[in-house]
């Protein structure tokens, strides 16, 4: 049955390359190995979201039972989003779990993920810290997400204040990414982030 998975991925791959979303640079798929079991996806951050201007890379693993089971997808690019783990990039999306249907394709999965970026579901979070910030301090969430998009996904919005705070933690010997996670988790409160970093 691995045969049907490969056959289908080949067909989908051809289809996605020809699709209009690719022409508009909204989504992209690349092969990672020659036997079509692992692919690299890319989605553009949707306009009017904190992810605008960013380019997010995804790891797509095609199981042998595809398309009867969903592909395993996670974000390689770090992202600040309630339904995506800021640490592992794991995604909480129903169609990648129990709502998968065999007629869905790489193209629809990537478009669904793009839709997830523009409409987060904080009530069904993958990252509880991000979800709490999204619900309590939406403004702070958007700034943080924009900052992450700039740093990891090549987004346009540079944030001097956040960069300075990270620099101060780095001067204390904290690794940059670790400093960013701590500050983001504590709403960019330098004191509390420092406390948390040095208490553990």
Partner 1 sequence: MSTSASPAEPSASPPEPSTSGNSSQKEGAGEEARDDRNFECNICLDTAKNAVVSMCGHLFCWPCLHQWLETASARQVCPVCKAAISREKVVPLYGRGSSDQQDPRENSAPRPSGQRTEPDGSLFNGFGLGDNSFHLSFGIGAFPFGFFTSTFNLGETRPSPAAMGTPQHLEEQFLSKIFLWLAIIFIAWLLLA
Tell me which residues are annotated as active site: 92
- Residue 15 CB, nearest distance to partner 1 (Å)? 8
Query: Taking CB under 8 A as the rule, does residue 64 contact partner 1?
Result: no
Whose CA is closest to 62, among 87, 90, 33?
Answer: 33
- Long-range pairs for 153-161 at CB < 8 Å and ≥24 separation? 153/45, 153/51, 153/53, 153/54, 153/55, 153/56, 153/77, 153/79, 154/53, 154/54, 154/55, 155/45, 155/51, 155/52, 155/53, 155/54, 156/52, 156/53, 157/53, 161/188
Residue from 104, 140, 157, 190 binding partner 1 (CB under 8 A): 104
Query: Taking CB under 8 A as the rule, does residue 17 contact partner 1?
Result: no
Query: Taking CB under 8 A as the rule, does residue 127 contact partner 1?
Result: no
Whose CA is closest to 44, among 34, 35, 54, 36?
Answer: 54
Residue from 112, 178, 187, 196 binding partner 1 (CB under 8 A): 112
Query: Taking CB under 8 A as the rule, does residue 2 contact partner 1?
Result: no
Residue from 31, 87, 102, 138 binding partner 1 (CB under 8 A): 102
- CB-based contact 44:114 (threshold 8 Å): yes
Q: Which residue has the tokens 């009530």?
A: 123
Query: Taking CB under 8 A as the rule, does residue 98 contact partner 1?
Result: yes
Residue from 17, 30, 68, 136 binding partner 1 (CB under 8 A): 68
Query: Taking CB under 8 A as the rule, does residue 60 contact partner 1?
Result: no
Binding site for partner 1 (CB under 8 A): 1, 4, 7-8, 11-12, 15, 65, 67-69, 83, 92-95, 97-99, 101-105, 107-108, 111-112, 115-116, 119, 121, 124
């Amino acid at each position: 049955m691995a045969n049907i998975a490969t056959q289908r991925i080949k067909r989908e791959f051809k289809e996605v390359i020809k699709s209009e979303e690719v022409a508009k640079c909204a989504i992209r798929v690349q092969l990672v190995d020659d036997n079509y079991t692992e692919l690299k996806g890319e989605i553009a951050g949707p306009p009017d979201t904190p992810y605008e201007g960013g380019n997010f890379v995804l790891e797509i693993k095609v199981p042998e039972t595809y398309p009867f089971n969903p592909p395993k997808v996670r974000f390689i690019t770090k992202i600040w989003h309630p339904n995506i783990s800021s640490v592992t990039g794991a995604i909480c999306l129903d169609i990648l779990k129990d709502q998968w249907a065999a007629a869905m394709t790489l193209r629809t999965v990537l478009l669904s993920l793009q839709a997830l970026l523009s409409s987060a579901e904080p009530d069904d979070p993958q990252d509880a810290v991000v979800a709490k910030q999204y619900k309590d301090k939406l403004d702070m969430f958007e700034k943080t997400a924009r900052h992450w998009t700039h740093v990891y996904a090549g987004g346009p919005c540079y944030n001097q204040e956040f960069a300075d705070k990270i620099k101060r933690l780095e001067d204390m010997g904290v690794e940059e990414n670790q400093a960013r996670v701590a500050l983001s988790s504590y709403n960019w409160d330098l004191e509390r982030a420092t406390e948390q970093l040095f208490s553990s």
